[in-house]
Amino acid sequence: MQIKLKFLGAAQNVTGSRHMLEANGVRVLIDCGLYQERQFRDRNWEPFPIKPKSIDAVLLTHAHLDHCGLLPKLVREGFRGKIYCTDATAEIARIILLDSAHLQEEDAEHKRRRHEKQGRKGPYPEVPLYTTQDAEACFPHFKTVKYQQTIEINNTVKATFCDAGHVLGSSMIKVDVKHNSQQRSVLFSGDIGRPDRPIVRDPNIPENVDYVVIESTYGDREHKPTGDVKDDIADVVNSTKKAGGNIVVPSFALERAQEILYYINELLLENAIPHLKIFLDSPMASRITKVFEQHPELYDEEMTEFIKQHQSPFKLPNLKMAGTSDESKAINHIKESIMIIAGSGMCTGGRIKYHLVNNITRPESSIMFVGYQAIGTLGRIIVDGAKEVRILGEQYPVKAKIVQIHGFSAHADRNELHKWLSKFKTSPKKIFIVHGESDSAKAFGEYLKGKTNWQVSVPQYQDEVILD
């Protein structure tokens, strides 16, 4: 038995998830994500560390860009196999990859103009990392699978997808390898959700796992005890409505926007908030919400029950999905109190910036943050209490109420990750910790060593191990 694992991304960092498993003459890539952390972004431009043509299949855990965002480049550079994932993942990945290609094209054009003006050249050519055409060329490679369905890469290497409970369609993937009379299995956790989240199910507990490659985004901490998320949202809506301002919600397009709508719907049914107009001002979030509506088979029990008793939480009577930029601009002329949900989630781009410009100087308005704000982003600067911020080239005093609602994370924390591993019927032979900043991954390793007698390793970029 010889299985080779090579860690090609998200090794002591969070983005660029990419792992290769090689066994019995077959090469499988698990995820092919984009590097988003500034210090690692150059890796997006480097040639693939292994020849794309030599890879037989890609197994995709979910549609977040840091897991699927380099697929167009992989295909352009010669990958010819299938990209296996759930149907919801395929549908959402299409939306996300087209958006990403569009941003890459815009970025390249901005860079070209900037360099021209400054009369200099950057280290890489001023071309998009990949184009819309490249993104479209990778879609025919998608081959959808169902949860618990086993697919054969060849007759000795098989993969089974199960629900990771992270975002709609997200999977953990178990790869089984047979060699003579021996059998080994390697589980790739992808991103692991938390128990009791709205809409998606709790993470699955797979059986007969020998090796685990596990994420550790929150491997060094526990989530803050969350008050009741719904109560917190209701407080913001009610007080802002009373003051006569708007509630501006910077939100990620996948999962977070749909969770907000879910909570708002429940609050309306409970008469805990007034019927105010809600704008989902993100074409990407609107398209992804449609994918959610088309996949009721993926909902958890509460959501299924909710729909039986009421209707889809995504069909609020006062919900408007803004499409064109004119529709988006028209929102600012509405005089009554409204809620505006827009991207990007950390205020680094997108329509949220215009809504911030129109509301951040109004003491009667609220900016309600519902997601993680990375250091250096406009969202983080606002959350950290800046008195003045620069948005779209202008300075604005921060007068609006700034609220951060905790309890929305889609990643299991240290304790929840350990609990999840502890539910496995048999102890794994070894755990490889990935997809966490170096400190977080190492701290999670120490934490596991303190709690168990498992073998634990925190691989580095391009490390290679042989599993027996």
The least distance separating Zn ion from the CB of residue 168, rounded to whole angstroms, comes to 11
Residue 397 near residue 177 (C-beta atoms within 8 A): no
The least distance separating Zn ion from the CB of residue 200, rounded to whole angstroms, comes to 12
Is 74 or 164 the residue whose CB approaches Zn ion more closely?
Answer: 164
Structural tokens at position 229: 């998320």
The least distance separating Zn ion from the CB of residue 263, rounded to whole angstroms, comes to 20
Phi/psi of residue 307, nearest 5 degrees:
-70, -35
Cα 85 to the center of its chain, rounded Å: 15
Is 64 or 351 the residue whose CB approaches Zn ion more closely?
Answer: 64
The least distance separating Zn ion from the CB of residue 436, rounded to whole angstroms, comes to 13
Considering CB under 5 A, how many residues would be counted as binding Zn ion?
2
The whole-angstrom separation of Cα 252 and Cα 374 is 13
| Contact range with Zn ion by CB under 5 A, out of 16-24, 190-198, 276-284, 304-312 | 190-198
The least distance separating Zn ion from the CB of residue 31, rounded to whole angstroms, comes to 10
Helix (H) or strand (E) run with residue 34 in it: none
| Contact range with Zn ion by CB under 5 A, out of 141-149, 188-196, 204-212, 429-437 | 188-196
Residues 47-76 that bind Zn ion (CB under 5 A): 64
Structural tokens at position 390: 């620069």
Count the Cβ atoms, other than its own, within 10 Å of residue 177.
Answer: 24
Is 96 or 247 the residue whose CB approaches Zn ion more closely?
Answer: 96
- What is the torsional sign of CA 352, 353, 354, 359? positive
The whole-angstrom separation of Cα 250 and Cα 341 is 6
| Contact range with Zn ion by CB under 5 A, out of 30-38, 187-195, 417-425, 460-468 | 187-195
Is 99 or 191 the residue whose CB approaches Zn ion more closely?
Answer: 191
Structural tokens at position 193: 């959700």
Query: Which x/- pattern, by CB under 5 A, does the window 133-172 give for Zn ion?
Result: ----------------------------------------
Is 287 or 435 the residue whose CB approaches Zn ion more closely?
Answer: 435
Name which position in 22, 91, 99, 191 contacts Zn ion (CB under 5 A): 191
For residue 251, cis peptide bond before it (omega within 30 degrees of 0): no
The least distance separating Zn ion from the CB of residue 62, rounded to whole angstroms, comes to 6
Residue 187 near residue 423 (C-beta atoms within 8 A): no
The least distance separating Zn ion from the CB of residue 89, rounded to whole angstroms, comes to 11
| Contact range with Zn ion by CB under 5 A, out of 41-49, 184-192, 193-201, 266-274 | 184-192
Is 210 or 416 the residue whose CB approaches Zn ion more closely?
Answer: 416
Q: Between vectors from CA 173 to CA 302 and to CA 194, what angle results, nearest 5°?
A: 35
Across the chain, which distance is largest between two alpha carbons, in Å?
73
Residue 167 near residue 200 (C-beta atoms within 8 A): yes
Residue 86 near residue 145 (C-beta atoms within 8 A): yes
The least distance separating Zn ion from the CB of residue 395, rounded to whole angstroms, comes to 34
Is 96 or 101 the residue whose CB approaches Zn ion more closely?
Answer: 96
Is 191 or 281 the residue whose CB approaches Zn ion more closely?
Answer: 191
Is 365 or 409 the residue whose CB approaches Zn ion more closely?
Answer: 409
The least distance separating Zn ion from the CB of residue 64, rounded to whole angstroms, comes to 4
Residue 191 near residue 219 (C-beta atoms within 8 A): no
Q: What share of the chain is helix, strand, coil (3-state, %, to 5)?
A: 35, 20, 45
Residues in touch with Zn ion (CB under 5 A): 64, 191
